[in-house]
Amino acid sequence: MGNKGYFFYCLCIFTYMTTFHPVDMIEEVDVVLKRQHGRHKHGEIKLFVFGDSYVDTGNWPKSMSSSWKQPYGFTYPGYPSGRFSDGLVLTDFIEEEQVYNKEKMSSSIAIVSVAGNDYATFITNNNMEDLVNVTKSMLSQLELNLRRIHGLGVQKIGITTMEPIGCLPKLTITSSYENCSEYANSISMFHNQMLHQIIDKLNNQTSKPNFFIIDLYNAFMTSLNIQQNHPGNSNFENPLKPCCMGICGDKKKYVLCKNPEFSFFWDAIHPSQQGWFAVFSALKPSLSFLL
């Protein structure tokens, strides 16, 4: 079910940044990371992340991924680090990247982010009549995986909704990056509706809420300020257009925008560091329930 890379971190609780400051963001994040020590009132919390390129901080093999080639990592750390962005991704804003310790599973948190690659393949194959069956199949496997993670002793599990895939540059290119695809976004909404039903069922079967929705869909829409499939005023210049145009990772086949800090998307699929920061800012109030 998509890329199944996994990685482990200690969690740093964030209580910062309510405004959008492109230039100072890296320095501000670094300061917060130095001040925080991954501590919770009940002790140290471990964060497990299972997912695809939206949460990958550099675990995909160098020989197999364009994320280890320029211009990825352009903003931070200044060279390719394996992240599918110009810098930090959502996971970076939530955690402090320390060493995993197998003990105290009951105080751990897991984040699961999957399905994007599956739908990308589905749309590419243009076999739309199977949408319902494909979605049911993916979510059935996801439900099984969530039960397994919970069965290991993890008490809090956050599951991301599908982002509005109709707003990804891979699809908005057909409208010269002016409008989101209403049909493609309906696929995301269908997936998310069924996901909510599964999460409700899982929580009803446990003594307390153990499963939490991380609403990427609405966080993206808020950050992009989408109104009737068209972006309104936002902090980003032409928010549906990527900074890296062409085949990113092949230095002869891409062109970069002049100011990556004003682009929500880095390439045709992945948000930029500034994009992820905007998404994190939109998610931050709801993350308190998970953390």
Burial of 155 (0-12, 13-18, 19+ CB in 10 A): middle
Torsion angle in degrees (nearest 10) through CA of 159, 117, 9, 47: 10
Structural contact between residues 75 and 273, judged by C-beta atoms closer than 8 angstroms: yes
17-67 pLDDT tens trace: 222 333 344 443 443 333 333 444 445 677 889 999 999 999 888 989 999
The active-site residue, picked from 67, 215, 267, 272, is: 267
55-73 pLDDT tens trace: 999 988 898 999 999 999 9
The answer to whether 52 is a known catalytic residue is no
The answer to whether 53 is a known catalytic residue is yes
Q: What is the pTM of this model?
A: 0.81
Concatenate the DSSP letters of all residues of 121-149 into one string.
HHHHHT-GGGHHHHHHHHHHHHHHHHHHH
**pLDDT at 14 exceeding the cut of 80:** no
Locate all alpha helices (DSSP H) within the chain, ordered by sequence.
25-35, 90-94, 116-125, 131-151, 169-172, 182-204, 216-224, 273-290
The average pLDDT across 126-139 equals 82
Percent of the chain with pLDDT over 70: 80
The active-site residue, picked from 85, 223, 263, 270, is: 270
The domains of the chain, with CATH numbers, are: 6-290 (3.40.50)
The active-site residue, picked from 53, 67, 85, 188, is: 53
The answer to whether 37 is a known catalytic residue is no
- CA–CA gap between residue 107 and residue 125 (Å, rounded): 42
- CA–CA gap between residue 165 and residue 189 (Å, rounded): 10
